[in-house]
Chain A
Amino acid sequence: MSGPVTSLTFHENARAACKDASLRQSLKKCTGIFQKKRREAVQALPLEELRDQASAIKLQVLDDLGAYVDRFAASATRAGAVVHRAKDAAAARETIFHILKDRSATKIVKSKSMVTEEIHLNEHLHRRGMQVIETDLGEYIVQLAGEKPSHILAPAIHKNRQQIGKLFAEKLRVPYTEDHLELLKIARDTLRQDFLTADAGITGANFALADTGSVVLVTNEGNGRMATTLPRLHIAVLTLEKIIPSLADLATFMRLLPRSASGQILSSYVSLITGPKKQGESTGAEEVHIVLVDNGRSEIVAGDCREILKCIRCSACLNACPVYATIGGHAYGSTYPGPMGIILTVLLDGMDKAYPLLDGTTLCGACDEVCPVKVPLTKMLATLRERRIAEGLTSTSEKAAMAGFKHAVNSPRAFDWGQRALRRLWPGLVLLSGEKILGRVPQPADRSLRRRMS
């Protein structure tokens, strides 16, 4: 591929991904397993009822987002955390950098977080001379490889065991193995030292509770707990829509999130962190900072795609999406891939930087079926396609074809004429479009149905 991979080179990226047999195999296998496990896990639930409930709770917050943010900030402050607000990615990076610098923290362990990917935190701290170590196994793998996550839950979904074995051998100077338990042990041994010597832990949050000021982390590997208890400083970074009203509401989401994400009834760890370690408590960071990142949310919540902010990042829509399962996350050239990713990227990065992604859906609706919070994904994808056309971000030939089509749909005579012209010009059109497009369509019938019926 020539040049950097961005959302604007989406078609080129997707084409390249289609040729990568090993990528396709990994994706098909993993998304297949995730889908199967999810299907089995939700069977015992009053699923529709819970989805409606979860959606209603999220909408309740979105309807009054400013007030909920204030409430959460006040509760968290009461609990002893220091709350910072950042308007955009740059402000968030600076805030986090200064919290670290003021405490002479140079070695940081991180638990998996998509918002820190969104604000490109790691690169920023590296440039300022800090060492940032991802401790989620998948994140650790992509960090070692110098890559980005290709899935919001399983960052290294694009890699198979052999590739990971080679990567570990090369980067960690260990003997090659493709045994997953061996690989796990290697990562664990290396990371253990990092946990014990880190100055700070940075995490995201799955939820934030407005009534208690707690930050909720849903994890499987235990690294989240170590990152928030071993170093003396914990910084939780979260975007505004992570806030839910109360601890009671968390129950609804906890029944949906692990099942939708990994097909688990419950994840191995659910941590509620309410301020720093208090007197008499044996674990917890001595200092807890919460960075509330807006980065476009205040604008999104006022627009017609506000419901994307209901998303709880479970990744069920990625796993269900036939396009994602074919091309993988890197092809999107964005932090968030798949159906939710297309929508969020267009809204966060701007239509002009992300419009090609809108071609990356067949609008099949498989994502809508699995979304645990009923984000109307297909509807929003269609809405954004309309906006794209309204902004003129499409080819001249498409505009011309649509202008002709607009005339034909209104006039049966023009339609009939168009059909006959199409038949006459067909061989030329096939050559023009190429084998992969009209070469897959049979030639128009000698006599159309309208002629046969008259």
Chain B
Amino acid sequence: MRVQLFGTCLVDTFFPETGEATVRLLEYFGVDVAYPREQTCCGKPADSVGYQDVSREAARHFLSVFEGPDPIVVPSGSCASMIKHHYPGLFKDDSRLRAKAEQTASRTYELTQFLVRVLKAHQTGFRGSGSITYHASCQLTRELSVREEPILLLKSIEGAQYVALPEADRCCGFGGAFMAKMPEVSMSLAYEKAQNIVGVGADTVTGCDQGCLMNISDALKRAGSNISVKHIAQVLAEGI
């Protein structure tokens, strides 16, 4: 099977290791990974602030880069949801692009969604250690309805123990531009998230969205915790 990987701008710019782990993981399952070099950003950062002219430009570019029949895999719930659920609505007045957006949306998957639903790879047999807890990010959970997939994958890691996080699907306070527009509220929510993570006594916290994980990592550091924060692609790829 061949897939196209959309790295996302956050991973591309700040966390390339997460992108590389995603590639290793997909290749382990026998998937041929193409990384379209012309890719940029899905437009989500502009869209959620209200700049639809900008997100429409980003979507138009995305649609022209990710052509063809192959599935598109995205290591982010919020970016995958942008493509799946928000792109078609951006082209209300353009039937050709709208059709293209719908076709693209239908073959776009968040990483764990792809692993479990398409590859049926939930029995990974990967190895790991220590206890791992999981933050359920907002768009992944509520827009894509990906709730069980990441947990199935984590539970399949031999030698590691999955521990459920209280209020796992409570927003961490990242919210894209929200973290810059209301930093005190954002930090306060991240602090509560960090308290819950510390409370379950996990060695590692993971999730499917690097933005949230970045926010959580900062809050844990401020709370003086050394709990490790890793994207689920890294947690899984390390166990290969």
Contact B184 A450, beta carbon cutoff 8 Å:
no
Asked if B175 is at the interface of the complex by the 8 Å CB criterion, the answer is: yes
**Minimum Cβ distance to chain A for residue B112 (Å):** 19
**Minimum Cβ distance to chain A for residue B234 (Å):** 13
Cβ contact of B61, chosen from A386, A388, A409, cutoff 8 A:
A409
Task: Give bound CA distance, A361 to B17, whole Å.
Answer: 30
* Contact status of A326 and B189, CB under 8 A, knowing A364-B138, A437-B180: yes
Asked if A1 is at the interface of the complex by the 8 Å CB criterion, the answer is: no
Asked if B215 is at the interface of the complex by the 8 Å CB criterion, the answer is: yes
Q: Which of A368, A382, A411, A434 has the most CB of B within 10 A?
A: A382
Contact B182 A359, beta carbon cutoff 8 Å:
yes
Asked if B58 is at the interface of the complex by the 8 Å CB criterion, the answer is: yes
* Contact status of A408 and B40, CB under 8 A, knowing A323-B185, A362-B178, A450-B7: yes
Interface segment among B48-56, B98-106, B126-134, B200-208: the answer is B48-56
Asked if A14 is at the interface of the complex by the 8 Å CB criterion, the answer is: yes
Chain A binding surface SS class: helix
Closest B residue, CB atoms, query A379: B89
Asked if A410 is at the interface of the complex by the 8 Å CB criterion, the answer is: yes
Contact B143 A365, beta carbon cutoff 8 Å:
yes
Residues of B within 8 A of A445 (CB): 13-17
Task: Give bound CA distance, A327 to B186, whole Å.
Answer: 11
- Tally of B interface residues using CB under 8 Å: 59
Cβ contact of B39, chosen from A387, A405, A450, cutoff 8 A:
A450
Residues of A within 8 A of B176 (CB): 362
Contact A14 B171, beta carbon cutoff 8 Å:
no
Residues of A within 8 A of B37 (CB): 412, 450, 453-454
The interface bits of chain A over 418-454 (1 if a CB of B lies within 8 angstroms of the residue's CB, else 0) are 0100100000000001101100111111011110111
Q: Which of A14, A365, A443 has the most CB of B within 10 A?
A: A365
**Minimum Cβ distance to chain B for residue A182 (Å):** 33
Residues of B within 8 A of A440 (CB): 179, 183, 187, 214-215, 218
**Minimum Cβ distance to chain B for residue A445 (Å):** 5
Count class of interface residues, chain A: 35 or more
Asked if A360 is at the interface of the complex by the 8 Å CB criterion, the answer is: yes
Task: Give bound CA distance, A19 to B11, whole Å.
Answer: 33
Asked if B170 is at the interface of the complex by the 8 Å CB criterion, the answer is: yes
Contact A362 B38, beta carbon cutoff 8 Å:
no
Chain B binding surface SS class: helix
Contact B54 A402, beta carbon cutoff 8 Å:
yes
Asked if B188 is at the interface of the complex by the 8 Å CB criterion, the answer is: yes
B50-70 contacts to A (CB < 8 Å): 50-54, 57-58, 60-61
Closest B residue, CB atoms, query A321: B171
Asked if A11 is at the interface of the complex by the 8 Å CB criterion, the answer is: yes
Contact B41 A415, beta carbon cutoff 8 Å:
yes
Asked if B114 is at the interface of the complex by the 8 Å CB criterion, the answer is: no
**Minimum Cβ distance to chain B for residue A217 (Å):** 34
* Contact status of A322 and B189, CB under 8 A, knowing A405-B46, A445-B16: yes
Contact B16 A11, beta carbon cutoff 8 Å:
no
Contact B12 A448, beta carbon cutoff 8 Å:
yes
* Contact status of A419 and B138, CB under 8 A, knowing A14-B182, A405-B54, A408-B40: no
Cβ contact of A410, chosen from B11, B40, B143, B169, cutoff 8 A:
B40
Task: Give bound CA distance, A387 to B51, whole Å.
Answer: 9
Contact B35 A453, beta carbon cutoff 8 Å:
yes
The interface bits of chain A over 362-395 (1 if a CB of B lies within 8 angstroms of the residue's CB, else 0) are 1111101100000000000010011111100000
Asked if A172 is at the interface of the complex by the 8 Å CB criterion, the answer is: no
Cβ contact of A442, chosen from B142, B143, B214, cutoff 8 A:
B214
Residues of A within 8 A of B40 (CB): 408-412, 415
Asked if B239 is at the interface of the complex by the 8 Å CB criterion, the answer is: no
State the B residues within 8 Å of A (CB): 7, 9, 11-17, 19-20, 23, 35, 37-41, 43, 45-54, 57-58, 60-61, 138-139, 142-143, 169-171, 173-176, 178-189, 214-215, 218
Since A409-B40, A445-B15 are in contact, a sample of 16 more A-B pairs with Cβ atoms closer than 8 Å, ordered by chain A residue number, is A327-B185, A360-B185, A362-B174, A362-B186, A363-B138, A385-B49, A389-B51, A402-B51, A405-B46, A406-B53, A406-B57, A409-B46, A412-B38, A415-B9, A441-B14, A449-B11
State the A residues within 8 Å of B (CB): 11, 14-15, 18-19, 24, 322-323, 326-327, 358-366, 368-369, 382, 385-390, 398, 402, 405-406, 408-412, 415, 419, 422, 433-434, 436-437, 440-445, 447-450, 452-454
- Can you name 19 A-B pairs with beta carbons within 8 Å? A14-B182, A14-B184, A18-B188, A327-B185, A359-B181, A366-B170, A385-B48, A389-B49, A402-B54, A405-B54, A406-B46, A406-B51, A412-B37, A415-B41, A436-B187, A437-B179, A437-B180, A441-B214, A441-B218
8 closest Cβ pairs, A-B complex: A362-B175, A385-B50, A364-B171, A365-B142, A436-B183, A389-B50, A409-B58, A449-B16
